[in-house]
Amino acid sequence: MKIDELPLDPNIINFLKSQGYTELYPPQEDAIKAGVLDGKNILVSAPTASGKTLIAILAIIQHIKKHKTKIVYLSPLKALAAEKFSEFKKLETAKLDRKIKVTISTGDFDSDDTLKNSDILILTNEKMDSLMRFSPSWIDDIGLVISDEIHLVGDEGRGPTLEMILTRFKLGLAGNKSQIIALSATITNYDELAEWLECKPVESKWRPVPLSEAVYDDFTVKNQERESYKINFDSVGLPSIGLGIDSVKNGGQSLLFAMTRPSSVKLAMDSGKYIEKKLGSKELAELGKISKKILSNNEQTELIKKLASVVKQGVAFHHAGLNQNCREIIETEFRNGKIKLLSATPTLAAGVNLPARRVVISSILRYNSKFGGNSPISVLEYKQLCGRAGRPQYDKEGESIIIAKQIPQDDLLEHYVDGEPEPIESKITEPSSLRIHLLSLVVTSPTITEDRIYKFFSQTLGGMQVEDETIELNLENAKSFLQDEKFIVNKEGGYIATKFGQMVSRLYIDPMTARDFRNAIEYDVSKGRKHTFGFLHLITNCNEFFPKFELRNKDEERADVVIENNKQTKIKHIEMQDCTRSLLAMDLWINEGTEIDLSDQLNIESGDIHRMVETANWLVYSLRELSRLLGRADLISELDALRQRIRYGIKEELIDLVKIKGIGRVRARRLYKNNIKTRQDLATTSVNQLAAIDKIGMAVANSIKSQLRVR
């Protein structure tokens, strides 16, 4: 079907053409036939790059034409949300029946007015869930919900949150008779998910670029048709590197999946010298500029130096230890074709869209914390990895190759290439999930009865998949915990949340964590002294803290020293075995340890500490609010100071200085060394004196002075 044939206004047709759309892909045409333009609920299960985004755009345009209600696009990850925001922002320029505003919200402190006054909201699942707990009036004005990557409803960590959101919309507990559009990768039980959401299923295995799935063993590649060909690596060591170089040599790009951070770095380092030889002088000059950009924009840890070094050779690595700035540079330059070979951990496959002609899976083993060792990846995860093969408009065919190690080639072909992805299974009936989400249900549905609680959870995906007796038992256990710990009370046959329960739900923390925080505040935190290290220990030990790194043998002596140095600010006795490397990292960070210090001393990288800071800030804020509720106003100023120290990575003496915009940890320390210790000192120091200080300069000095005048 041509775009011209769609029953849309000519202005919209012209807009779609201006965005490069001329003809519908088969899954898009199937979605039209299923009623996506007629307000029908649909679930689309189709491979990566098969056109699911256009299905969402068409639904949005039609909804805006017919209705005045809001549209919400749900994404599992901030990076994906940002990607979709840039795409949907273009709709503001389309000639629609009314002027629209597109907004993204993935953080904790967005203005409710901004969301209220927007037409299209791009939200992470967690942000949507958090908003539902506050019940702003505009939530009832949502008429279209688009849920991307819905197969992640089976994810152990984030799946239950998405399941709660969609169940609320389905039952009309949120939204205005909302149309639901669910977009998914290829999954086995798509019909079951469609039944749960009362959607019409649209299933397709069509891809814009055909995919060859194969297994390599002993210089032979065998594909799904059991066709084989020999491959020569020109004396390159590892097969994964040889296969990657072979694709680049033939004009393609390669994406190498490694199962650990160190192996992803090593693959890139070992590939660089081979890729560099295949590049021209102009390409190498461009890569040199990108390398310098990486070095100039970041602290030069060993990891950053390695990244900058391999980028000069047309190669890069990508994992969660890199900060967002580095990851975005790598993603952009890989898309632009300047980086030819990228080695990455599997988290990339669940994130931004970075296709390559050839995907090489260097190992099918991955560390599993449940088993305390390596275990094979699932077929579903394998299909996610190989789905990155094939760049639309560039490649006639994409190719995915598993490297056989110890497992026979034919066995891997049979299990992974021929295999069907495992069915998506709900995790909402797990005890920890029920504890969290039962509380949120009671908070948003005051006086809800036991019967209504059971009916709600029976309408979840878990309610379809799990035995009734199991749901009833787990609900009873969760309810007993929440009552015993005073989160909820039974009042006249219905349940209501206590003030403590309401606050915990809106702070978005696990009731188990909240209980531990409350016990510490009420029984362990004494008056009249500071508890900085004790608070850090409390938050880094809770379930929500992420990322959490365990102590290595060589960290034990350091842990003993840190505990001894902080004995005056502990909450209670701490042994070395009670510590994590994350606790040591946070202590080093707020005492102005640099990213180089963290990397060299604790093997914790820039991306890790940035996520720790974000998590710690939220958890300390939660401690602050619970302290206020529990009558411990004496703790608020200390917790406020700790949040500032965590946010900026500073000692307490610099807090007053960083309140000025443009002054961070480095400039604040420079000022302090020049005997400028407070905002009052800044006010009495001349512009020229400020500008003469290293890292300040005239522009920053003028900015500081203008802010002080406003105050």
Q: For 439-496, how does the pLDDT look when each residue is reduced to its tens digit (9 = 90+)?
A: 999 999 999 999 999 999 999 999 999 999 999 999 999 999 999 999 999 998 899 9
pTM to 2 decimal places? 0.94
Instruction: Return the bridge partners of 375, or none.
Output: 366
CATH number of 657-710: 1.10.150.20
Mean pLDDT of 413-419: 97
% residues pLDDT > 90 (the chain): 88
Q: Which of 160, 185, 159, 183 is nearest to 380 (CA)?
A: 185
Mean pLDDT of 338-361: 88
pLDDT higher than threshold 70 for residue 27:
yes
pLDDT higher than threshold 60 for residue 279:
yes
Under CATH, which architecture does the 3-203 domain have? 3-Layer(aba) Sandwich (3.40)
Identify the DSSP state of 447.
T
Q: What is the pLDDT of residue 236?
A: 75
pLDDT higher than threshold 80 for residue 237:
no
Rounded mean pLDDT of the chain?
Answer: 94
Q: What is the pLDDT of residue 64?
A: 94
Instruction: Return the bridge partners of 448, or none.
Output: 495
Instruction: Return the bridge partners of 356, or none.
Output: 389
511-649 folds as: Sec63 N-terminal domain-like fold (1.10.3380)
Determine which of 103-117, 515-529, 571-585 has the lowest per-residue pLDDT on average: 103-117
pLDDT higher than threshold 90 for residue 366:
no
Beta strands in 148-275 (DSSP E): 179-184, 200-203, 211-217, 220-223, 228-230, 254-257
pLDDT higher than threshold 80 for residue 327:
yes
Determine which of 360-374, 628-642, 672-686 has the lowest per-residue pLDDT on average: 360-374
| pLDDT level of residue 107 (50, 70, 90 thresholds) | confident
Q: What is the pLDDT of residue 349?
A: 66
Query: Which pLDDT tens digit goes with each residue over 147-171?
Result: 999 999 999 999 999 999 999 999 9
Mean pLDDT of 639-664: 97
8 Å CB contact between 147 and 183: yes
Between 372 and 105, the more confident residue is 105
CA distances from 390 to 29, 48, 213, 359, 398 (A): 22, 10, 11, 9, 4
Mean pLDDT of 416-437: 95
The domain segmentation of the chain, as residue ranges, is: 3-203, 211-417, 431-507, 511-649, 657-710
Mean pLDDT of 359-385: 86
Q: What is the pLDDT of residue 108?
A: 62
8 Å CB contact between 151 and 424: yes
Q: What is the pLDDT of residue 111?
A: 60
Overall CATH class of domain 431-507: mainly alpha
Q: What is the pLDDT of residue 348?
A: 74
- Say if 3-203 and 657-710 have the same CATH topology: no
pLDDT higher than threshold 90 for residue 516:
yes
pLDDT higher than threshold 80 for residue 285:
yes
Query: Which pLDDT tens digit goes with each residue over 194-219?
Result: 999 999 999 999 999 999 999 999 99
| pLDDT level of residue 641 (50, 70, 90 thresholds) | very high
% residues pLDDT > 70 (the chain): 98
Structure tokens at 57: 């755009």
Query: Which pLDDT tens digit goes with each residue over 258-274?
Result: 989 999 999 999 999 99
Q: Which CATH superfamily is domain 211-417 in?
A: P-loop containing nucleotide triphosphate hydrolases (3.40.50.300)
pLDDT higher than threshold 80 for residue 371:
no
Query: Which pLDDT tens digit goes with each residue over 688-701?
Result: 999 999 999 999 99
Q: Which of 162, 141, 170, 129 is nearest to 444 (CA)?
A: 129
Sheet holding 42-45, edge to edge: 102-105, 120-124, 70-75, 142-147, 179-184, 42-45, 200-203
Q: Binding residue per annotation — 568?
A: no
8 Å CB contact between 231 and 74: no
Burial class (CB in 10 A: 0-12, 13-18, 19+), 142: buried
Mean pLDDT of 569-582: 94
pLDDT higher than threshold 60 for residue 109:
no
